[in-house]
Amino acid sequence: MIRVVVDTSVVVSALRSRRGASFRLMRLVGRDRFRTIVSVPLVLEYESATKRISRSLGLRHSDIDDVLDYLCKVSEHRQIFYLWRPHLRDPSDDMVLELAVEAEADAIVTHNVRDFAGAEQFGIRVLRPQDFLRELGELA
């Protein structure tokens, strides 16, 4: 099974619109098409980013909690015991890359592909949600 780390940009995008690839990808989470990998720092980043915009989306914090609880329930949990930052320009992106490397993930799924330049040296592919869905056979 393909194992991926989903960047916060995808989670936020999925909550903003039901029309895009991010929403479609997040609807597949937990359905045995691929395995998501999370860590405590990544889930806390998801929570911070999504709760900041929740009101503008018409969502309560409890709605966000429900989404994140489900994501945590169906995801593989990993702990990071080392930090070799900085490798990327953004420390939040370094956290995602560290998780992907430690978990030996197949890919990072993000809208910010350029921000993860260098991930390939660790054997990690960086894919946009629509490209990942194409690989899964969910998009033509």
| Range with the poorest average pLDDT among 50-64, 69-83, 122-136 | 69-83
Q: DSSP secondary-structure letter at 82?
A: -
Are the C-beta atoms of residues 22 and 55 closer than 8 Å to each other?
Answer: no
pTM comes to 0.93
Show the tokens assigned to 82: 């080392």
Mean residue pLDDT across the chain: 93
What 3-state class would DSSP assign to 33? coil
pLDDT tens for each residue of 81-98: 766 655 666 667 889 999
CA within 13 Å, CB half, 46: 25
Question: Is the per-residue pLDDT at 2 higher than 60?
Answer: yes
Instruction: Walk me through the domains of the chain, giving residue ranges and CATH numbers.
Output: 2-136 (3.40.50.1010)
Contact 9, 112 (CB under 8 A): yes
DSSP assignment of 40-80 equals: HHHHHHHHHHHHHHTGGGT--HHHHHHHHHHHHHHSEE---
Is the model's pLDDT at 118 over the cut of 90?
Answer: no
